Amino acid sequence: MITNPILPGFNPDPSILCVDGEFYIATSTFEWFPGIALYHSYDLEHWELVGHALVDEQHVDLSRLPSAKGVWAPSLTYNDQEKQFYLAYSLMYSHNARYFDLDNFVVTSPLITGPWSKPVFLHSVGFDPSFLHDEDGKSYVVCLQWELRNGDGRPDSIVMQEYDCGERVLVGELCEIWKGGTKRGCLEGPHLYKHKGYYYLLTAEGGTGYGHSVTVARSKSVWGPYEGAPNNPLLSAAKDFDESDNAEYLKPQRFNPDSPLQKTGHASLVQVTKDYWYVAFLCSRPFVPELRSTLGRESSLERVYWTGDGWLMLGNNQKIPRLEIESPPIHTKKTVLHSLPDCGTTWFRESLPAHFITPRYPLHRFASLSERPGFLRLSGKQSLCSLDVVAFVARRMQSLSVVISTQVEFNPDDWRESAGLVIYHDHMNYRFLRITYDQEQNKPVLMITCLANGVREEHRWVELKNAIPIRLALVVQERALRFYWTEGPGKPLYEEQGWQQYKESFDTSELSDEFSEYGEFTGTFVGMACEDFKMHQKSADFAWFDYQQGSLG
């Protein structure tokens, strides 16, 4: 059985692909660097993060972008004539006044692991570009067109243009091909496929909140006209509704308590065998009744089949997806080295595992694995609130209950210097267990900084006799967040007793899209940080980082 979500934690907008019997998914990364997460599987059940497509800061500029801007909705396709992977994506800079200022690009590579080409500019008419490589050798780009002429900016229609793969340029006219299959509005996320003489267009409607859905249209000609499926929407956690409410993207009134997964939409299609087809789609698992999704938007699978009249239907003959679905009849002896989530202790050697990423800027701007071999050295930069260079290395939180530990050596001598352990949703919502300096007491202290939509609270914990080394830990058990610390080198929290626990617990649900006023679309991260907003020189050395799924004890 396949258990959903297949890519837990912050992994939205899945674009799935099968090449030579192996499966790949690309997901959005927004302001996080490197850009576009790439996953690989042999069986659709076990997935490994094999890297990222946008690894050169000269090729993707995320500098000073607010949370939830950056790289949106990658579309992964394969050009069989060229033997090349194609990745199209949007780089979103702003949607101030609903203008949605962005550029669309494509990169290519013969291997999923790269190296990927320098990005080629496509256009800026709207977001979510996607390729179709047709049997006759022609290629096409579909995307959402953003409408600005009639009142507020809004999603308008799906448009298409031919693409010359040899010259790497769009050719011909940009043509409108589809207006949507429901009245839910917020048409987006197009993917175009060809099957048994028809061109099938999968789109998302209803917005990426609780009204999200997947719709289908088809045409005998790639240019249309397209007709909507009689059973639209194909997939949606929300109960049927037939009205547009674009003004508020979350749409909490569309929450359906009967669905185990929420916000389900933005799907892509893959054929496994002659009779086994699946759609990958984004989803979330919110706390109820708060409707706060701490893990963000995740990726799941549902089986689909073709009806006698050539339309798609969910494998359970309903619209609501399931937590468990049947695996395809694949017999392979190949296995991956690491299945998700990647748990255990990371010892800092010559390189970091792929699941460690950084906000906006690459690691070399503030970190080193060679200055002190065996340690990750972070050189303090600006505060975690900054949109500029922040010394913060993190990984996705992929379970509602986790135990995180690290060992750090840090010797501050100014109150502007801090280092420690962070749980983070965006630059205005995080919790920071930090070693810093008390100027009046003339000694290091342990503090907890809590930022909730930009409102900061400081919790003074304990005066430290010796700040070298100490171990820090945090435990998330669904809604509750607790912090721990202990002196000296040693083992992670889950392996050892005697750690001191802070008296208060904190509300994890505040680290969510639904709570945040400054960043949506992402998810919660855990990691290590160092601040020095005096001289940007003070460094912290981290010996290891431990991630365990499940509760403490």
384-396 pLDDT, tens digit per residue, is 999 999 999 999 9
Q: Phi first, then psi: what are they for 407, rounded to 5°?
A: -120, 130
Structural tokens at position 165: 């793969």
Q: What is the pLDDT of residues 476-508, one digit of tens each?
A: 999 999 999 999 999 999 999 899 999 999 999
Return d(Cα 261, Cα 255) in angstroms, integer.
10
DSSP strand E in 381-479: where? 391-396, 401-409, 417-426, 429-438, 443-452, 455-463, 470-477
Q: What is the pLDDT of residues 203-252, one digit of tens each?
A: 999 999 999 999 999 999 999 999 999 999 999 999 887 777 666 778 89
531 a catalytic residue: no
pTM of the model: 0.96
DSSP strand E in 80-110: where? 84-94, 101-109
Q: So what's the pLDDT on residue 243?
A: 76
Q: So what's the pLDDT on residue 241?
A: 78
Burial class (CB within 10 angstroms; exposed 0-12, middle 13-18, buried 19+) of 157: middle
What's the gap between Cα 368 and its chain centre?
25
Asked if residue 227 lies in contact with residue 217, where contact means CB atoms within 8 angstroms, the answer is: yes
Q: So what's the pLDDT on residue 244?
A: 75
Among residues 31, 43, 128, 188, the one annotated as catalytic is 188
Q: How long is the chain?
A: 553
Is residue 327 pLDDT above 60, yes or no? yes
Residues 6+ apart with CB under 8 A from 462: 445, 446, 485, 500
Structural tokens at position 26: 């690309």
**Residues pairing with 482 in the sheet:** 475
Percent of all residues in the chain with a pLDDT value above 70, rounded to a whole number: 97
Asked if residue 539 lies in contact with residue 378, where contact means CB atoms within 8 angstroms, the answer is: yes
**Residues pairing with 87 in the sheet:** 76, 107
Q: What is the mean pLDDT of the chain?
A: 94
The closest of 236, 323, 298, 273 to 47, measured between CA atoms, is 298
Asked if residue 40 lies in contact with residue 47, where contact means CB atoms within 8 angstroms, the answer is: yes
Q: What is the pLDDT of residues 49-81, one digit of tens each?
A: 999 999 999 999 999 999 999 999 999 999 999
Q: Phi first, then psi: what are they for 402, rounded to 5°?
A: -140, 160
SS3 155: strand
Is residue 166 pLDDT above 80, yes or no? yes
Is residue 432 pLDDT above 60, yes or no? yes
Burial 266-284 (b: 16+ CB within 10 A, else e): bbbbbebeeebbbbbbbbb
Q: Which of 308-312, 334-338, 376-380 has the lowest mean pLDDT?
A: 334-338
Q: So what's the pLDDT on residue 154?
A: 78
Structural domains in the chain plus CATH codes? 2-325 (2.115.10.20), 344-549 (2.60.120.200)
Instruction: For residue 389, count other CB atoms closer than 10 A to its CB.
Output: 19
Q: So what's the pLDDT on residue 334?
A: 65
Could you say which DSSP state residue 96 is in? G
Return d(Cα 330, Cα 3) in angstroms, integer.
16
Q: So what's the pLDDT on residue 338?
A: 54
Identify whether 119 is preceded by a cis peptide bond (ω within 30 of 0).
no
243 a catalytic residue: no
Is residue 161 pLDDT above 60, yes or no? yes
Q: So what's the pLDDT on residue 205?
A: 95
Is residue 193 pLDDT above 70, yes or no? yes
- Indicate the pLDDT class of residue 415, thresholds 50, 70 and 90: very high
Is residue 333 pLDDT above 70, yes or no? no
Return d(Cα 396, Cα 29) in angstroms, integer.
11
